[in-house]
Amino acid sequence: MIALPAGVQVYLAAGATDMRKGFDGLAALVQTQLSEDPFSGQLFVFRGRAGDRVKILWWSGDGLCLFAKRLERGRFVWPHTTQGTVSLTSAQLSMLLEGIDWRRVERSFDPHAAA
């Protein structure tokens, strides 16, 4: 995956998105449905109805970038809400893109336990 700039926020657009949308259509969704600025430098992630495709829209400073991924097996884990956004960390985004359930990750150790 491409390294994310420090401090970038990741927003999942809840619900299903028409994956035929491109740069302009997704930027319009960011403005109208998410009430965010598509040129803010934040990442906006959209999932198709079948759940096997995502698109990420990102303003790099000199143009919009559109990244897409399709899983050959399985589905991308998505929030159950149908409106608004869910904020993720870059680590959670990496897990999502690998098909890992980013909501139920467990540590193999207790970081607060005495060593």
What secondary structure does DSSP assign to 13-52, as a single string?
E-S---TT--HHHHHHHHHHTS---TTSS-EEEEE-TTSS
- Residue 18 inside a domain? The answer is yes
- Residue 79 inside a domain? The answer is yes
- Residue 80 inside a domain? The answer is yes
- Residue 63 inside a domain? The answer is yes
Range of the domain at 67: 10-97
For the chain, how many structural domains are there in total? Answer: 1
Length of the chain: 115
- Residue 108 inside a domain? The answer is no
pTM, two decimal places = 0.83
C-alpha 34, offset from chain centre:
13
Can you give the pLDDT of all 115 residues of the chain as single tens digits? 567 778 899 999 988 999 999 999 999 999 998 999 999 999 999 999 999 999 999 999 899 999 999 999 888 888 777 677 888 888 888 888 888 877 776 655 666 766 5
